[in-house]
């Protein structure tokens, strides 16, 4: 996938909007909040792998959502794309017949944020396609109401996110990277991973003391190399096969392997992958039935 494609593209069929995946370059848990959510501190980066949403005039009143592509996505009102469109129409006080075709290329339950990215793309795409002209603060408010990571995908491509994930501090420095993304045939539940999480304040303080000075210097490469994800033990407790895969991969290549989000996707950061990449991909596929792909940082 080229790193030069645009997010919005006017086609003969309608407005095409690309929704990028993300990886967590670090993920710390600050503890459980009074509202029942876990507080997080995370550096998130978009990557150049996309779902696609096509906006066309609707054939009937209301929102018609069509899901297609190699990966599964929930239909109709079970999909955040539907609710993003519905809430934006309510905010704009104008209903338009709309047909949205979601081409799902990024698997769900992998910690790559594709459902959140789809919802953000729906907000931006419908706002542009229907000429609602709603300001950024309206989109931000709807995004925060819909889910924790959606606000990140309204900006980017790199940010420090805190709170439930809805507090966004853009990082303007360029962060160029290429990683090998591992895609195990395992679907994780973010809800279950958080329910299984047991907080360790000492670990949070230790990792925070390492990461915060690097964040202040915008040394993002150094943060990624720490490979800090406090959800890892919870995820691996539910899916021990993922821990076995990680250890095996680290033995095969001699490099660190990092979990993204609540899993199941993992990646190899900050490495010279030219020497190990293709051979490692073959081994992962043949010996562990694990797909993989090279991805770069996204430009927008």
Catalytic residues: 22, 149
β-pairing, 167-170 vs 158-163, is antiparallel
Q: What is the full DSSP assignment across 200-234? A: -HHHHHHHHHHHHHHHHTT-HHHHHHH--BTTHHH
Backbone angles phi, psi at 151, to 5 degrees: -60, -40
Reduce the DSSP state of residue 82 to 3 states and report it: helix
- Contact present, 239 and 188 (Cβ < 8 Å): yes
Q: Give CA separation, 146 vs 79, 88, 150, 181, 265, in Å.
A: 11, 11, 7, 27, 23
Q: Which residue from 167, 168, 166, 150 is spatially nearest to 80, judged by alpha carbons?
A: 150
Residue 236 neighbours by CB under 8 Å, 6+ apart: 242, 243, 246
- CA separation for the pair 214, 226 (Å, rounded): 11
In sequence order, what are the beta bridge partners of 57? Answer: 98
| Residue position matching structure tokens 């706002």 | 127
The first and second tokens of residue 187, run together, are: 């679907």
Neighbouring CB atoms inside 10 A of 1's CB total 16
């Amino acid at each position: 996938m080229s790193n030069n494609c645009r997010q919005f593209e006017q086609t003969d069929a309608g407005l095409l909007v690309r929704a990028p995946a993300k990886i967590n370059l670090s993920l710390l848990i600050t503890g459980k909040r009074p509202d029942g959510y876990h507080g997080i501190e995370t550096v998130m980066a978009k990557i150049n792998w996309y779902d696609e949403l096509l906006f066309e005039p609707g054939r009937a009143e209301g929102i018609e959502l069509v899901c297609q592509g190699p990966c599964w996505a929930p239909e109709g009102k079970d999909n955040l794309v539907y609710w993003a469109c519905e809430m934006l129409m309510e905010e704009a006080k104008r209903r338009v017949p709309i047909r949205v075709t979601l081409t799902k290329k990024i698997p769900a339950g992998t910690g790559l944020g594709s459902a959140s990215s789809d919802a953000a793309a729906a907000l931006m795409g419908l706002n542009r396609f229907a000429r609602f002209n709603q300001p950024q603060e309206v989109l931000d408010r709807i995004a925060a109401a819909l889910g924790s990571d959606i606000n990140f995908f309204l900006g980017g491509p790199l940010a420090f996110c805190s709170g439930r994930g809805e507090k966004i501090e853009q990082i303007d420095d360029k962060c160029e990277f290429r990683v090998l993304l591992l895609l195990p045939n395992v679907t994780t539940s973010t809800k279950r991973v958080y329910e299984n999480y047991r907080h360790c304040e000492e670990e949070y303080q230790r990792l925070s003391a390492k990461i915060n000075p690097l964040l202040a210097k915008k040394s993002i490469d150094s943060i990624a190399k720490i490979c800090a994800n406090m959800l890892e033990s919870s995820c691996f407790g539910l899916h021990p096969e993922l821990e076995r895969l990680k250890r095996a991969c680290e033995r095969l290549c001699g490099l660190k392997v990092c979990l993204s989000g609540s899993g199941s996707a993992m990646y190899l950061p900050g490495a010279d992958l030219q020497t190990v990449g293709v051979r490692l991909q073959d081994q992962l596929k043949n010996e562990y039935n694990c797909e993989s792909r090279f991805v770069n940082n996204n430009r927008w």
